[in-house]
Amino acid sequence: MNLSVGCTLGYQIATPTAAFTFNVLANTDAQQRLVGERIVCAPEVPTEVVENSKGGRVLRCEVPTGPFEFRYAATVEVTRPPLPDIVKADNPGRLPLAILTYMLPSRYCESDRFAPVAWELFGKTEDRAEQVRAICAWLDTNLTYAPNATDSRTSAWNVWESRKGVCRDYTHLAIAFCRALSIPARYVGGYAAGLEPMDFHACFEAWLGGEWRLFDPTDHIPAEHMAVISRGRDAASAALTTIFGKITAAPVKVTCVVDQSGGTATVPVATT
């Protein structure tokens, strides 16, 4: 399946220069192939695309004082294999160390506080895939989408207590539940077709059957309708933008649709 994705990010730079790291480029891996992409900076500035420590691609640039707009568009071919019928538990002592780190508590995912409740809610089956699916279904049923109920300091435990949040908060709680069940899980930022309102989307990957599997914690977006752009232990290590300098940001514009034409990427129209 092809997804047509894109974003427009606008800024007013107040310092002599500002340094940007944009982590919004579509990833390339075994389940995602980049058909084509276009990047536009207005005004035009020197840019550098580098690979980060998690295999993602980021664009870096320095921008002088004044208005600046970054526009990105890509066509991404997504091929995600179905889950096995039954996924047995891994032996944590046999997991690669690079995977094991995603089983430990992190800043926003206090999995060490969730073990009793996670096993009570989701431990009735030994099928690890069914446990993760049950977590997503539970979140969809028991949490209320509330954009103004949380902020950048909200953790999984805060969400558990308030039962409110946005996709970022759903994701942190899902990861905390998974890790409490000894299932490695990591934060994913991406594009999602069918998302309402349209924006960047937070989801997560769980290590099942020897590979990473993508899940939507709101239990509404199919895995093949999502394109991965960033990964981390939680949102703190998967920021979509990192900015050094004084800026004022314009509203973010994001697009993601299923591309039936198989065409190439078209850069979103510039803001005025």
Whether residue 191 is found in the same domain as residue 97:
yes
Question: Quick check: 72 and 39 in contact, CB under 8 A?
Answer: yes
Q: Give me the CATH number covering residue 129.
A: 3.10.620.30
Mean pLDDT of the chain: 93
Q: pLDDT tens digits for 87-141? A: 998 888 888 989 999 999 999 999 999 999 999 999 999 999 999 999 999 999 9
Residue 131 inside a domain? The answer is: yes
pLDDT value at position 262? Answer: 57
Whether residue 222 is found in the same domain as residue 254:
no
Whether residue 146 is found in the same domain as residue 18:
no
265 pLDDT above the threshold of 60: no
Contact partners, residue 169, CB within 8 Å, separation at least 6: 143, 150, 154, 156, 158, 159
Whether residue 111 is found in the same domain as residue 230:
yes
* Short-list 143, 148, 107, CA closest to 238: 107
Question: Quick check: 12 and 245 in contact, CB under 8 A?
Answer: no
Partner residues linked to 78 by β-bridges:
32
pLDDT value at position 264? Answer: 54
pLDDT value at position 5? Answer: 97
Q: pLDDT tens digits for 34-76? A: 999 999 999 999 999 998 777 789 999 999 999 999 999 999 9
Residue 272 inside a domain? The answer is: no
* Residue entry with tokens 């697009």: 255
Whether residue 117 is found in the same domain as residue 249:
no
Confidence (pTM) = 0.92
Whether residue 139 is found in the same domain as residue 173:
yes
269 pLDDT above the threshold of 80: no
Residue 226 inside a domain? The answer is: yes
Residue 106 inside a domain? The answer is: yes
Number of domains in the chain: 2
pLDDT value at position 268? Answer: 52
Residue 56 inside a domain? The answer is: yes
pLDDT value at position 94? Answer: 86
Model confidence band, residue 157 (pLDDT cutoffs 50, 70, 90): very high
Q: Give me the CATH number covering residue 8.
A: 2.60.40.2250
272 pLDDT above the threshold of 50: no
Whether residue 184 is found in the same domain as residue 147:
yes
Whether residue 96 is found in the same domain as residue 69:
no
Residue 204 inside a domain? The answer is: yes
Q: Find the domain containing 57 and state its range.
A: 2-78+239-258
